[in-house]
Structure 1
């Protein structure tokens, strides 16, 4: 349920920005037909319900500081190695993230995961309470209407009503107060029938269900209220258009609204029954209504379509720009140490982004973009591996390692390293975010790259070496080695010195694989003893 809650938070936070934009456009189009602003609330509903969309350079959504669009809470945030929040606002991010203590080896559950889990329970409880309250309200209202008198078709009258309303979903019924004048009755019936023809009773129910999911967001409540007003305003305008809205008709229509300006508490919390709220605003809108000129209507529609597309679409993201945000710079000066940090994305998320990252291969030369991609890939893989040891959690390498034998070896080696860590040993781990000296990258043969990543922290001479192959412009590991006298490869193969990585097909050699398996079994038996 935590992942679902994070998805809802993402949609709600994105929709909050969209709501503010729609409110602004609503004010700018004050003289436009109210059906325009009513339609714009559909964009808000889309953002509150649909977690994905297309990308466009015409998007009106801002990017956060990592050139990513809202939503600001990554899906993997509850499993991040360093819990952080990225709302796109530097001051908020710095304050909130600074209050979240980092996980330790003894406690692999980070505080953000606990907060998210607890928040998901409160969210589910609030949603359940709101839905139950609404259901009870509808049942009580139906009980109150059991003695309503049938008039004709779907029209009923009830003595205990103060205001007309529509109730029902599949076969909606119109309920009227007893004692309406003929002219009032005709106006009100036309208004309620217009609601039904436009499926407003279904739209109102759908909007209430969306509100129930996002009940924790005050802006969604504001949107629901304003959408309901625009629904009524646009319905009034449509009725006036049908009646050739001269001043006498508008005054009579407004008088019928004024006569119903009484207590309407019985409809509170009843999404299947909605009456005529905001009478003062509706009367003012009716009296000021003028049939819009053609050019005003066309301009309003164009604005509505443009704003709608801009708010539905996510910002266009250029893939290689993301790498500059991850590493901080393209070129690392010789001899300098660089810290590879994961501000918002975990190592697994970075790998997931890069494993299918398309990049250029220019003859025998390694381009700057290629170097940045491959080195970032190697660093993220190592952080994923060592982070899994520190957090004592299972991870999958199947998307990053091409050879099945190497994949089995890596998975088994991770399992043994985790066991040794629990037993108090010192495995290949310096923390969740390792620091490196300048990386060495060279083309080994064709589309195979040799990567050497020397650790810089704690004075270690340890180095991760990898052979990374570009297959159809996707990166896969074909060989790897943690090299120093206490390194992983030394343990399982018995080599006292650094092993050279020069054969991309090494792990297809069954003799090699059998030898590694024997060393693994020996290592495991030592851990068990």
Structure 2
């Protein structure tokens, strides 16, 4: 998946979680929303996803027609689009390294990522330098509290005059940092503060914040990721508050809330990747504290169900239609016959026909390949995969840069294309537009390719490699390899190029 695709699917997931959060923030355990945000983070930082029949995208694909789009399956695929689809470049024997083109979008994204990552790193390092001036706390209650909560990671409690509210930092050697003016005689307040910070340490919240920051730096251009970052940090605090209330009982709600208010009045500064005691919206925290209820079997099951359904719908992708039943696969018998033969034998066979693939021109004169496909089977086609070859007016094969916007692309005689569009039985699909051909004399707004010569493509030969039907069956062209050896990179007679279409595929069920 491309970065934009990951960011878009993540944004849809974020919207779903925000809606659920707005409805059930005071009804479900706060841990529920942390799990949902963690799933969102995984969706944002992992460049692939698991296909699922329950995905929202699968449901959408099953209810509406899939729009036509082209996806080039080359080693290096760029996502830039010219006119309707990708651009095919005429550039025989021209080294790719002579095309000094870098996507403006990629440059802007890199600059933004570096700036935001630099901001967080510098801010955190500045705070860590200040934290080094902190002094250890010599207090009987503090020492006893640490002894009663043994962890494999050694916890330290220090005090500093550089902060006004408690916070926690560090992963392997966590430190609870207290303001120097802390009232060390107020045991009740210390119990609340230490318990809150202990939950942060126990749950590795610092690592969670680090991953959230990493996702934010990658998707800095997506406003919904900023919403996720803010709400995720807020829900971390809400979950800690809830844990403290469950530990000390409902009678502690008022005292704990008053302590939060007093801490909020002293709040100051940004401490990235640290768990601040009073960093988030105080009003929401107090409301959540006062509405904290005992967890029941019903609320627990409801939380699990909501997480399961939401993740199934929004954290997965549309199910791959290539996962079809082998027993239902279709095979090719005779790849090319006459139209009259098709009509005569229609009762015993099914056909898919490449009607044509002509070189047409836009209004400004720029050329493009325009192909037409007919589905003479009894099942709807949902995806096709085919090979494209190009020849000049003399029948010589053209070695093209099939995607010049990718500076790492290599010239090739062939280009494998996958189209996703619904073609109903007995329907002829005439694509709007097509694969644009580069013409240096007309397309002046494009980067110069080779010598900027005029387009040389006069003929384009297409051959289906695979067809996927709506019922999940897959037809693989067993004659494809022979076809490729016959045409790819070979001189072809003009009359054969002119009489290539209609190219017909006879298909029979096993």
User: What band does the TM-score fall into relative to the shorter chain?
Assistant: 0.5 to 0.7
Aligned equivalents of 1:57, 1:260: Cα separation in 2:
49
Match of 2:231 in 1: 226
Match of 2:294 in 1: 291
Structure 2 counterpart of 1:125, from 102, 108, 111: 111
Match of 1:356 in 2: none
Match of 2:478 in 1: 470
Q: Closer, same or farther in 2 for the Cα pair 1:381/1:298, shift >3 Å?
A: same
Match of 2:222 in 1: 217
Match of 2:42 in 1: 46
Residue 133 of structure 1 deviates from its aligned partner by 1.9
Aligned equivalents of 1:105, 1:139: Cα separation in 2:
52
Structure 2 counterpart of 1:170, from 144, 148, 172: 172
Aligned equivalents of 1:75, 1:333: Cα separation in 2:
22
Residue 252 of structure 1 deviates from its aligned partner by 0.4
Q: Closer, same or farther in 2 for the Cα pair 1:142/1:304, shift >3 Å?
A: same
Cα RMSD after superposing both structures:
5.0
Structure 1 counterpart of 2:198, from 193, 197, 208: 193
Match of 1:311 in 2: 314
Aligned equivalents of 1:10, 1:53: Cα separation in 2:
11
Query: Given the two structures, how large is their TM-score scaled by the length of structure 2?
Result: 0.61
- 1:354-399 Cα offsets, whole Å, 9 max, x none, are xxxxxxxxxxxx983899899x666x32369768278785126599
Larger RCO, structure (CA 8 Å, separation 6 or more):
2
Aligned equivalents of 2:400, 2:497: Cα separation in 1:
26
Contact 1:340 1:435 in 2 (8 A): no
Aligned equivalents of 1:75, 1:478: Cα separation in 2:
16
Q: Closer, same or farther in 2 for the Cα pair 1:369/1:286, shift >3 Å?
A: same
Tell me which protein shows more helix as a share of its residues: 1
Aligned equivalents of 2:101, 2:223: Cα separation in 1:
20
- Judge which range, 213-222 or 100-109, deviates more: 100-109
Aligned equivalents of 2:102, 2:477: Cα separation in 1:
38
Residue 287 of structure 1 deviates from its aligned partner by 1.5
Residue 262 of structure 1 deviates from its aligned partner by 2.9
Alignment of 1:84-123 (within 5 A): 105=90, 117-123=103-109
Structure 2 counterpart of 1:237, from 242, 247, 261: 242
Match of 1:527 in 2: none
- 1:209-242 Cα offsets, whole Å, 9 max, x none, are 1211111111101001111111111111111111
Count of residues in correspondence between the two structures? 382
Unpaired segments ≥5 residues, structure 1:
1-5, 85-96, 322-329, 342-346, 351-365, 401-420, 442-446, 448-467, 500-529
Q: Closer, same or farther in 2 for the Cα pair 1:20/1:76, shift >3 Å?
A: farther
Residue 41 of structure 1 deviates from its aligned partner by 0.6
Match of 2:13 in 1: 18
Alignment of 1:64-463 (within 5 A): 67=66, 83=81, 105=90, 117-151=103-137, 152=143, 153-177=155-179, 178-180=181-183, 181-246=186-251, 249-262=252-265, 264-268=267-271, 270-272=272-274, 274-277=276-279, 278-319=281-322, 368=377, 380-382=387-389, 388=400, 394-395=411-412, 397=414, 428-429=457-458
Q: Closer, same or farther in 2 for the Cα pair 1:147/1:27, shift >3 Å?
A: same
Unpaired segments ≥5 residues, structure 2:
138-142, 144-154, 325-349, 361-367, 392-396, 405-409, 418-449, 466-475, 501-510
Residue 49 of structure 1 deviates from its aligned partner by 1.2
- 1:242-295 Cα offsets, whole Å, 9 max, x none, are 11223xx10000011011013544224x22454422222111211221223321
Aligned equivalents of 2:157, 2:124: Cα separation in 1:
18
Aligned equivalents of 1:21, 1:223: Cα separation in 2:
11
Contact 1:81 1:103 in 2 (8 A): no
Residue 148 of structure 1 deviates from its aligned partner by 1.9
Contact 1:147 1:158 in 2 (8 A): yes
Aligned equivalents of 1:301, 1:61: Cα separation in 2:
22
Q: Secondary structure at the match of 1:156?
A: strand
Q: Secondary structure at the match of 2:192?
A: helix
Q: Closer, same or farther in 2 for the Cα pair 1:81/1:223, shift >3 Å?
A: closer
Contact 1:154 1:173 in 2 (8 A): yes
- 1:296-331 Cα offsets, whole Å, 9 max, x none, are 22112122122123222212243499xxxxxxxx97
Match of 2:335 in 1: none
Query: Given the two structures, how large is their TM-score scaled by the length of structure 1?
Result: 0.59
Residue 14 of structure 1 deviates from its aligned partner by 1.3
